[in-house]
Structure 1
Amino acid sequence: MSDLQQKTRTPNRVGARALAVAATVAAAALVWLVGEPLLGNDLVVEQPGQAPLDLSLASFVIITLGASLAGWAVLALLEKITRYGRRIWTGLAVAVVLVSFLPFLSAQMTTGSAVVLGVVHLVVGAVLVPLLLRVPRGSDEA
């Protein structure tokens, strides 16, 4: 098989993973759009000893983008240093999603806000984890 045929059949790992990050950010933004303006939940979170934090669409996008890029970086590193990188990363990703619920124990927010934030945590994990892992091992390096 020629190099050209091989490249057209093998997805570009960077492109596929960038799309995974973009899809994750879009999914989080969609949850915010449904949760705040459509359903009318004022997404304000109060932590003890801190000023109330109003979670805007921009904050959802920035936080999700940062977390997604960090996840991608950790996956790429683990793939380079161990042959079990994907398995290790999957376990870490699931653990991060579970740990991300810990602030709910001390934060004060309305029930609607808690539901929207809980849904976004689950949606980000449900979109990012399988999409980042979807890229085959033999794909272009990234």
Structure 2
Amino acid sequence: MSALVVASVRTRRTSRAAATGLAAVGAFLVWLVADPLLGVDFDVTRSGTTTVVGPGMVIFMALGAGLVGWVFLALLERFTTQARRVWVITASVVLLLSLVMPFNSGEIATDAKVSLLLMHVVVGAVLIPLYARTASGRSKKDSSTTIV
């Protein structure tokens, strides 16, 4: 690999890692405003089991979404010349589908549903454009080098 390609890979990795961290921080900030400051109750009861959506879960889920998106984009870059376009469309559809989750998560207060929706939107609003910005414009024949 040439020095330029190595630098490009490092920059891409650093940018994606920063985007993933930023998405997690954004989701955590929504939780921070909603739970401790506004008193939103994030207790979700489903089938008699109560789960508390706390800061650890919020950060873990946002980081998980970021890492899954990162892997998906890396695979797209390896196997298609339209990685950026496919990423934006697919990630946007996944975001829209994820907005159903707070309404299908069991017994939960309306203010908590709104806060969870906002967390989903924040994570998507960070990851979709920032990952798209880092998507390589390589041609399919150049895919012999792995970009992650």
Cα pair 2:44 2:50 within 8 Å, conserved: yes
**Cα offset for 1:136?**
5.8
Give the CA deviation at 1:105. 3.5
Which runs of structure 2 are paired with 1:42-61 in the superposition (5 Å)?
A: 42-47=41-46, 49-61=47-59
**Which residue matches 2:63?**
65
> Which consecutive unaligned segments of at least 5 residues does structure 2 have?
139-145
Structure 1: which 5+ runs fail to align?
none
Change (3 A) 1:85 1:10: closer
2:35 alignment partner in structure 1: 36
Q: Which amino acid is the alignment partner of residue 72 of structure 2?
A: V
Q: Distance in 2 between matches of 1:68 and 1:10?
A: 18
Q: Is the 8 A contact 2:16 2:134 kept in 1?
A: yes
Counterpart of 2:90?
92
Task: Please state how far the C-alpha of 1:108 moved relative to its aligned partner.
Answer: 1.8
Q: 1:74 aligns with which of 61, 72, 75?
A: 72
TM-score (norm 1): 0.86
Which protein, 1 or 2, shows the higher relative CO under an 8 Å CA cutoff with sep ≥ 6? 1
Q: What is aligned with 2:108? A: 109
Structure 2 contact 102–116 (Cα < 8 Å) conserved: no
Matched AA of 1:65: L
Q: Report if aligned partners of 2:26, 2:122 keep a CA contact under 8 Å in 1.
A: yes
Kept after mapping to 2: 8 A contact 1:11/1:135:
no
Distance (Å, rounded) in 2 between the aligned partners of 1:55 and 1:69: 20
Q: Cα offset for 1:9? A: 8.9
The 5 Å alignment of 1:1-20 reads 12-20=11-19
How many pairs align? 139
Query: Partners of 2:109 and 2:9 in 1: how far apart?
Result: 47
TM-score w.r.t. length of structure 2: 0.82
